[in-house]
Amino acid sequence: MSKRKKKVGLPPGSVVYTGSIQDKNIDIHFIQYDEEHLEEKAYSNLSKIVFLHSSEVKVDWYDVRGIHDTALIEQIGKTYDIHSLILEDVSDIHQRPKYEEYKNGIFLIAKALKFDKTSLSVGIEQVSLYFKKGFVVSFQETETDLFLAVRKRIQNDKGKIRLHGADYLVFAILDIIVDNYFIVLEDIEVAIESLEERIIETQESSIKSEIHHLKKELLVVRKSISPLREAISRLSKTDSPIVERNTEIYLRNVYEHTIHLMDTVDTYRDVLNGLQDLFISEVSFKMNQVMQVLTIVSTIFIPLTFLAGIYGMNFQNIPELSWQYGYFALWAIMIIIFIGLLIFFKRKHWF
Amino acid sequence: MSKRKKKVGLPPGSVVYTGSIQDKNIDIHFIQYDEEHLEEKAYSNLSKIVFLHSSEVKVDWYDVRGIHDTALIEQIGKTYDIHSLILEDVSDIHQRPKYEEYKNGIFLIAKALKFDKTSLSVGIEQVSLYFKKGFVVSFQETETDLFLAVRKRIQNDKGKIRLHGADYLVFAILDIIVDNYFIVLEDIEVAIESLEERIIETQESSIKSEIHHLKKELLVVRKSISPLREAISRLSKTDSPIVERNTEIYLRNVYEHTIHLMDTVDTYRDVLNGLQDLFISEVSFKMNQVMQVLTIVSTIFIPLTFLAGIYGMNFQNIPELSWQYGYFALWAIMIIIFIGLLIFFKRKHWF
Amino acid sequence: MSKRKKKVGLPPGSVVYTGSIQDKNIDIHFIQYDEEHLEEKAYSNLSKIVFLHSSEVKVDWYDVRGIHDTALIEQIGKTYDIHSLILEDVSDIHQRPKYEEYKNGIFLIAKALKFDKTSLSVGIEQVSLYFKKGFVVSFQETETDLFLAVRKRIQNDKGKIRLHGADYLVFAILDIIVDNYFIVLEDIEVAIESLEERIIETQESSIKSEIHHLKKELLVVRKSISPLREAISRLSKTDSPIVERNTEIYLRNVYEHTIHLMDTVDTYRDVLNGLQDLFISEVSFKMNQVMQVLTIVSTIFIPLTFLAGIYGMNFQNIPELSWQYGYFALWAIMIIIFIGLLIFFKRKHWF
Amino acid sequence: MSKRKKKVGLPPGSVVYTGSIQDKNIDIHFIQYDEEHLEEKAYSNLSKIVFLHSSEVKVDWYDVRGIHDTALIEQIGKTYDIHSLILEDVSDIHQRPKYEEYKNGIFLIAKALKFDKTSLSVGIEQVSLYFKKGFVVSFQETETDLFLAVRKRIQNDKGKIRLHGADYLVFAILDIIVDNYFIVLEDIEVAIESLEERIIETQESSIKSEIHHLKKELLVVRKSISPLREAISRLSKTDSPIVERNTEIYLRNVYEHTIHLMDTVDTYRDVLNGLQDLFISEVSFKMNQVMQVLTIVSTIFIPLTFLAGIYGMNFQNIPELSWQYGYFALWAIMIIIFIGLLIFFKRKHWF
Amino acid sequence: MSKRKKKVGLPPGSVVYTGSIQDKNIDIHFIQYDEEHLEEKAYSNLSKIVFLHSSEVKVDWYDVRGIHDTALIEQIGKTYDIHSLILEDVSDIHQRPKYEEYKNGIFLIAKALKFDKTSLSVGIEQVSLYFKKGFVVSFQETETDLFLAVRKRIQNDKGKIRLHGADYLVFAILDIIVDNYFIVLEDIEVAIESLEERIIETQESSIKSEIHHLKKELLVVRKSISPLREAISRLSKTDSPIVERNTEIYLRNVYEHTIHLMDTVDTYRDVLNGLQDLFISEVSFKMNQVMQVLTIVSTIFIPLTFLAGIYGMNFQNIPELSWQYGYFALWAIMIIIFIGLLIFFKRKHWF
């Protein structure tokens, strides 16, 4: 978050990149399609890029991967008449998911998540979408191709995507982001289940920090889903002519998925809290057992050792010492004490 | 949940079965009735099935048990003009309970629950209902006959079910699902009460994981009831002509039951949390007792053993050793210390 | 709750008694009154009962005590044209408090509570009220005369009750039920205070299960009050002509009492949670003290006993043993160690 | 609360004193003022009191201190035409703060609080206010002069109070009550801070019951403020002609204070919960230290004492005993073990 | 808060300084600007100050630093016709952030925060803003120049600030306050992360009070942001002509930031609670380890020492003592017991 400091005091609308990637290439994938035609270009040399003026008949999608070149963002902004507050948000990777309607177009921020199973950590990629009739531009920070499946559906004839406009494309992008949340949560579920097993088998010290870690990662997921749910809800209810009635039923479907996701996240949090309690009680249960062994051994042998000490004393006049079977009598007494205490502990259910 | 992965990137409306049952037969029970007539057929050979076009006078109910044959679902969808998003949801067994109104009909998802008393675990069966005037189709994953009681009421003349339309049949199905929730909660209550008794009697290690387990199962029940409550509320308030005014009073009754169920689930969660606290305090109370015994035994015998050790030393000049009654004097001192400490502990209420 | 099982699959409106009282008599107390006249009858032989048709001028109140005779309930239902769903609820003792408006009359369920101070447990009696102009019928499961005070006010001229209609009588009944809640909560308060004192004085093992028990009883009280509050709120705001404007101000008063009750219940829950924390910390504090005594005794005597052991060894060449004042020198050393450790522990504030 | 029992079954509007003060005098302070005139009387002999009929031009304020004389309350009620439900509430000291609008006037209940710094407990005084144009009557249980500052402002020319009507006087009374809450909370803050210091310095057993006690007192404060906030909100938004537009801006100010108070109370609760956690962890941390000392001492001396025991045995054939330097060799071995264990514990960071 | 006491009983609108700074200078920075002109003055000698009557064409901003001179505040109030309730709030440094619309202008209170990294504590500075067309006055308690960045943007031609009116200036001030919150939270995040590392490495006693401290500071931040969010929301939705439509989009942006901040604060609280749990379980885990060492050492050596004690007894007839290899046999037995117990503990996973 320390990039915030750069921005304090700057006028609103200042396009400042707040991430840490500086030396990577910026890739721009361009697709133009309608029901019949399809044109695709991938630019990695930005000097050659030509920004077409959208026709509203075909759909133009610029998929920009890399946002550290603020000049490029400002150029795109100028070409397609995008409000400077939008450009500011695009270049700031610490935005909350949100939905904003402007006169010319609609702006959306979502967070694409990825779960790394070895480090059990959630990776975040901020996706900014700006669209109007026949035009969509998406921004992300890294080069990862998040929307391969969407492009495949455009390329194949099967998908209905070519029959619809820019709003349906945005739906398809959001749909794939939300679908990925399910996969992330599945992976987290697997991690939780393996934790649960390990708690019952062993009580390694590391488990508690893993639980703590997973809870933090779930907070990250929650912070990504919760405002996105609201954003999609508002998108699905918009009056804007940019979104067609037909698309809304699909958006409502995505909205239901986000509700489902929130439910699941909250359930997992409850489960993790339960695991934490379970871990603590497992540990204290084991300590209990250990303590009981100590108690039993001590409580039995301390009096016996005391008796042995008594007859180890060097008083000149200890009558028992000169008895013929004194030693054996003492053993008998000790064994009676030993067995008596064992029975006492058994009755108390101490072992 | 790992079936989610198959679906990422597919266009919406793709009918993909996400469960694990593949080789079981699919049974379809068909009932057609009105006040006077009743016809019943059970198909397990699907090739012979004939889908009748609903007359709106009689009620046709197709009870489909088995959803792994997506071709069949798509055929039913085509025959009765059901939206592809509905078919997608029917074949995905990981849906949240929900209510959706479409132009032609109403779609509902509910979860039928079953509690297994030995494993203390809740089994879930997703039930999807689609209905319009004179036509109901219900889908479930397994062969279990969930709605036997409903069919019996249709067969017997007693039930009012034959006097009403498809909406009342849907109510009867929902009513039986919700009634089953009460039985599940009763069984859980019995399990909780037996846990409570066992906590006070013994402090077995397994109790804490059973509490944890029951809490997880209650979360499952809660996730089934909570959205169903909302769905039934919306169904009971619908303006759709498919649902008649007379049925609404019955639906409101079911709705009240779901509220009652939610109350009960929340109460049980509170009770389970209380049991957990009780268990921990029982365990630590017992450990306390154990520790006190250790303390008392140690605190009494450690000084006595020390004294015995003193007179076990081999110094050439220990005057006490040669006293005539030194040994007996020491015993007297030791007994005084012993009794003194017992009184001290008694006063401190340490035993 | 196990009576639920009997009912699964029955059509709605089936009058099934779900309680366990079977062999008790059913008493019906009948009062008819207006400003000037008063007639009272108590039937315990049900064959002699005559159900009058209400005149709307006088108020007829049938106070039915005992609901296991479902035929009787159905007869009353038929006589006064009561909806079958109401009769079903009347005979099911596991209903939530609720308020329902029907075309002919208003139906209310409340729970009368009683606190048993020895067992610290809350007894529940379900009271169902159905009323319309000039007619009130109340149902309860046992013979207890819950509404003696109301009947006394009707008999005496003092009470304003004779000047008003059936709605005011219903208010008076609800008022007495709600007033009883205050008494129950007072008793619970007394129980909580005695628990608090006992926690500070002794740390008996039973206290924690008593706290747990009281928390469960408070949950019962809460589940009785919370929906009743809603029911009374809706009754006080009704547009039904059965309830007169004048009565509403009194109903709002009862409504305020239920809010007050909810506040109190929640406060008590907080107090009980606090007591639980207090108990646990008292117990662990005491264990702490016990541990400290053990530590002090062990830490002092273990090194001393070691020293005594050293000079109890039988090596042929231990020079100190033959020193004239070796024994006394060792005592001196031991006393110095003893006092030194005491000072050390005192400095550490360990006792 | 045990006074409740007296009231069960009484008709609504019964004026019953529920407090415990019986033998104190009742004082009535009367002030009549407008912009120019001011008349003040203090009655302690109630027989001499004259109740003036309010003129609506001047403001008459009867400040009644003592409510155990229900006849007096009923007389005031009759003189000024106050609804019997109001009189009932005035004489019942266990009311929740509330706001009620009647045809003739407005009725308000608030709780004046006082914090006793030695016993750390909150004292409650219920203040009931009834007012209409030109007339205010306030009731409280004890003789304490709560509203001295208000009377002083009326007596002095400075205050704007004389320029306004009865509604502004009510505002001034509420304002002083709410201002006193801030003082109570300040005192509680001081108490919390002193607790915090004491937790870090010492771990006295009494601290935990003090925290528990303060939490209970905060619950009392919360229960006084929370409904008052609502009452003032409704007063400030009223359409009643009794409250003038000008006064509303002042009432909104008081309302904001109550919000601020609620915030503060909730913050203090959080802080107290935090203190409780802190106390428990301080105590267990200290116990930890104590245990570590025990462990170190035991773990070091137990093996050494064992060795000493070995060579205290009386076997006829123990070769080491006859070695010339056996005793010194054993000392050397013991010192090596001693130092070795110290280093081991140091490495483990156990001390 | 103890300044509250000074104010109880004073009439509303009394301007009383409630802070503790008395002897510092008061600085007033004055800026007057429109698109083309810019005039700046800094007064520290208040006698020379001239209050200009605002022209509504240019924007006049008085930045008053120091509020202990209540006469000055009252003079400003009189000059610019500011309501006395506003002046009272300005001089009381314990106000909640709030938004109030008056006939002539708009009044806002916000809290500027600063985080001190060494003491990990949050410093609060209350900023009061009053503005109308062409006029802004801001008050703060200390001399710190909080709004340097805003003045720089006014001085530079770059910022759009000169093109807009007083409302945009207020936005810029709020924006800088809110931006500072992000920096405070970043610093807190760094503090939390360093705590997390230290918990895993060491278990110093001080960590728990640091967690407690940070939680208290977060409560302070929360209490500053939460009402400010509401205030900004109401400002951005106002109908007042003082705020122009163009500014609203910027205000909504600030509003979104406050939502983001609240999210972050709540997340941090969750994380701190998690850390507390982690700390407690780390400490008890370590104690566990220590206890296990004690148990192992005691459980092994206590029986061995007992055996040694047995053969240290002085009975005349102990046959084993005279056996040739009795001593070595005992050693063998002891070593077998030693190893046996080690294996037993190993199997139990106790070390």
- Higher-confidence residue of D148 and E51: namely D148
β-partners of residue D59 are: D33
Among residues of chain A, what percentage have pLDDT more than 90? 39
Do C300 and C181 sit in the same domain of this protein?
Answer: no
Q: Which residues of A touch B322 (CB under 8 A)?
A: 316
Distances (CA, A) of C120 to C112, C217, D5: 16, 8, 19
Confidence of residue D159 (pLDDT cuts 50, 70, 90): low
Residue type present at position D37: H
What are the chain B neighbours of C13 within 8 Å (beta carbons)? 160
What are the CA-CA distances from residue E200 to residues A205, C24, C165, D40, D281 (Å)? 10, 67, 73, 72, 17
- From the centroid of its chain, how far is CA D294? 43
Q: Is the pLDDT of residue C1 over 50?
A: no
> Which of C29-33, C97-101, E244-248 comes out lowest in average pLDDT?
E244-248
Integer Cα distance of E180 and D338 in angstroms: 57
- Interval E107-146: pLDDT, tens: 999 999 999 988 889 999 999 999 999 999 999 999 888 9
**So what's the pLDDT on residue C235?**
93
Contact D250 E85 (CB under 8 A): yes
Which stretches within E97-165 are classed as H helix? Answer: 148-155
Q: Domain range holding B295? A: 288-347
Q: Where do we find the tokens 């919390």?
A: D192
Lowest mean pLDDT among A71-80, C208-217, D291-300: D291-300
Whether residue A272 sits in one domain with residue A230 = yes
Put simply, the answer to whether C96 touches B294 (Cβ < 8 Å) is: no
Q: Kindly state whether residues D146 and D293 are assigned to the same domain.
A: no
Separation between Cα atoms, residue B178 and residue D324, nearest integer Å:
91
For position C5, what pLDDT does the model report?
Answer: 58
Q: Under an 8 A CB cutoff, do E182 and A85 touch?
A: no
Domain co-membership, B327 together with B213: no
Same domain as A140, residue A77:
yes
Range B195-210 average pLDDT: 81
Question: pLDDT at residue A1 above 50?
Answer: no
My answer on whether A174 and A217 are in the same domain is yes
Please choose, from the candidates C212, A296, A289, C277, the residue with its C-alpha nearest in 3D space to the C-alpha of residue B199: C212
Half-sphere exposure of E131 toward its Cβ, with a 13 Å CA cutoff? 31
Q: Among candidates B296, E151, D327, which has minimal Cα distance to A298?
A: B296
Cβ-based neighbour number of residue A76 at 10 Å? 20
> How many angstroms away from the CA of E343 is the closest CA of chain A?
15
Q: Tell me if B324 and A317 make a contact (CB, 8 A cut-off).
A: yes
Quick one: average pLDDT of D244-251? 87
Q: Is the pLDDT of residue B2 over 60?
A: no
Which residues from C are below 8 Å from D230, CB to CB?
none
Q: Is residue C300 domain-shared with residue C273, that is, in the same domain?
A: no
DSSP state, D97?
Answer: P
> Which chains, if any, share at least 3 CB pairs under 8 A with chain D?
C, E
CA dihedral of D58, D64, D69, D72, whole degrees rounded to 10: 0
- Looking at the complex, report in whole angstroms how far the Cα of residue E186 sits from the nearest Cα belonging to chain A: 6
pLDDT band at A97 (very low <50, low <70, confident <90, very high): very high
Q: What is the C-alpha to C-alpha distance for residues B45 and A317, in angstroms, rounded to an integer?
A: 103
% of chain A beyond a pLDDT of 70: 95
Gap between the Cα atoms of B100 and B63, Å rounded: 20
User: What pLDDT is attached to residue D337?
Assistant: 93
Indicate the pLDDT class of residue E222, thresholds 50, 70 and 90: very high
- Reduced to 3 states (helix: H, G, I; strand: E, B; else coil), residue D63 is strand
* Inter-chain residue contact B4 with A183, CB threshold 8 Å: yes
Rounded-to-integer distance, Cα E65 and Cα E127, Å: 10
Kindly give the pairing relationship between strand D59-65 and strand D27-33: antiparallel
Nearest CB among A185, A294, A306 relative to B308 is that of A306
Q: Which amino acid is at A262?
A: M
Q: What is the pLDDT at residue D6?
A: 58
**Distance (Å) from the alpha carbon of B182 to chain C's nearest alpha carbon:** 7
Question: Which pLDDT band holds residue E6 (cuts at 50, 70, 90)?
Answer: low
pLDDT beyond 90 at B289: no
Q: Which of C281, C308, C328 is the last residue of a domain?
A: C281
Residues 6+ apart with CB under 8 A from B67: B17, B19, B26, B73, B90, B91, B93, B139, B140, B141
CB atoms inside a 10 Å sphere around CB E33: 18
Q: What is the mean pLDDT of residues E75-81?
A: 90
Quote the CA–CA distance of D250 and A247 in Å, as a whole number. Answer: 52
Q: How far is E5 from chain A (nearest CA, A)?
A: 39
Structure tokens at B267: 């109460």
As a whole number, mean pLDDT of residues B269-293 equals 81
Q: Report chain C residues whose CB lies below 8 A from the CB of B159.
A: 11
Give domain status of residue E296, yes or no.
no
Q: How many CB pairs under 8 A join B and C?
A: 146
* Residues of chain A positioned with their CB less than 8 A from the CB of B2: 186
Give me the mean pLDDT over the C183-204 stretch: 86
Same domain, D310 and D179: no
**Amino acid B1: pLDDT:** 41
Last residue of a domain, one of B281, B316, B334: B281
Q: Give the pLDDT confidence score for residue A4 in this predicted structure.
A: 58
Helix axes C84-91, C70-79, angle to 10 degrees: 150
* H-run or E-run covering E168: helix E166-201
- Residue-level pLDDT at C54: 65
Residue B141 falls inside a structural domain? yes
H or E stretch covering A219: helix A206-236
State the nearest Cα–Cα gap between E318 and chain A, in angstroms: 6
Quickly state the pLDDT bin for A11 (edges 50, 70, 90).
confident
The Cα–Cα gap between B128 and B110 comes to 6
Task: Give mean pLDDT, residues C72-90.
Answer: 91
| pLDDT tens sequence across C117-175 | 888 899 999 999 999 999 999 999 998 889 998 998 888 865 678 888 899 999 999 99
From CA A94, how far away is CA A117, in angstroms rounded? 24
B208–A294 CB contact, under 8 Å: no
Rounded to the nearest integer, the mean pLDDT of chain A is: 87
CB-based burial label for D189 (10 Å; 0-12, 13-18, 19+): middle
- Region D249-255: mean pLDDT is 90
Q: Which residue of A has its CA nearest to E185?
A: A1
CATH number at residue A341: 1.20.58.340
Could you say which of D259, D281, D303 is where a domain stops? D281
Residue E43: predicted pLDDT: 86
Closest among A149, A179, A154, A158 to A250, alpha carbons compared: A179
- For D320, nearest residue in chain C (alpha carbons): C315
Q: What angle do CA E253, A111, A244 make, to 5 degrees?
A: 75
Say if B194 falls within a structural domain: no
What value of ipTM does the predicted structure carry? 0.71
| Arithmetic mean of pLDDT, B143-147 | 89
* CA C231 – CA C99 distance, rounded (Å): 5
Q: Do A305 and B304 count as a contact with CB atoms less than 8 A apart?
A: no
Q: What is the torsional sign of CA C73, C78, C82, C88? A: positive
Cβ B255 vs Cβ B236: under 8 Å: yes
Distance CA D13, CA C253 (A): 10
Q: Same structural domain for residues A130 and A107?
A: yes
pLDDT at D291 over 90: no
Touching subunits for chain C (3+ Cβ pairs under 8 A) = B, D
- Taking contacts as CB-CB distances below 8 angstroms, the residues of chain E near D302 are 297-298, 301-302, 305
Report the number of distinct structural domains present in chain C: 2
Given an 8 Å threshold on Cβ–Cβ distance, is D290 in contact with C350? yes
- In 3D space, the residue among C89, C90, C86, C108 whose CA is nearest the CA of residue C99 turns out to be C108
Whether E327 and D305 lie within 8 Å, measured CB to CB? no
pLDDT (mean) for E210-219: 90
Instruction: Specify whether A108 is located in the same domain as A243.
Output: yes
Instruction: Please tell me the distance in Å from D74's CA to the nearest CA on chain E.
Output: 32
Instruction: Work out the end-to-end distance of chain D between its first and last CA atoms, rounded to an integer number of angstroms.
Output: 55
Please give the average per-residue pLDDT across D167-173, as a whole number. Answer: 93
Q: Give the residue among E140, E175, E145, E161 at the shortest CA–CA distance from E59.
A: E161
Model confidence band, residue D54 (pLDDT cutoffs 50, 70, 90): low
3-state secondary structure of E121: strand
DSSP C174-211: HHHHHHHHHHHHHHHHHHHHHHHHHHHH---THHHHHH
Q: What pLDDT does residue B208 have?
A: 82
Burial class (CB in 10 A: 0-12, 13-18, 19+), A338: middle
Whether residue E112 contacts residue E180, with contact meaning beta carbons closer than 8 Å, is answered with yes
The rounded distance, in Å, linking the Cα atoms of A47 and A53 is: 18
Average pLDDT, chain B: 87
Rounded to 5°, angle at Cα E177 from E172 and E182:
120
The CATH number for D65's domain is: 3.30.460.20
Confidence label for D174 from pLDDT (cuts 50, 70 and 90): very high
Q: Does residue C8 contact residue B183 with C-beta atoms inside 8 Å?
A: yes
Within this chain, do residues A263 and A322 fall inside the same structural domain, yes or no? Answer: no
- Distance from C-alpha of B194 to C-alpha of B216, rounded to nearest angstrom: 18
| In a shared domain, residues C339 and C265 | no
CB contact under 8 A, A285 and B205: yes
pLDDT digits (tens, 9 = 90+) for E269-298: 888 988 888 887 777 777 777 777 777 888
Q: Give the relative orientation of helices A206-236 and A166-201 as an angle to the nearest 10 degrees.
A: 160
Query: What is the tens place of the pLDDT at every residue in A65-74?
Result: 999 988 999 9
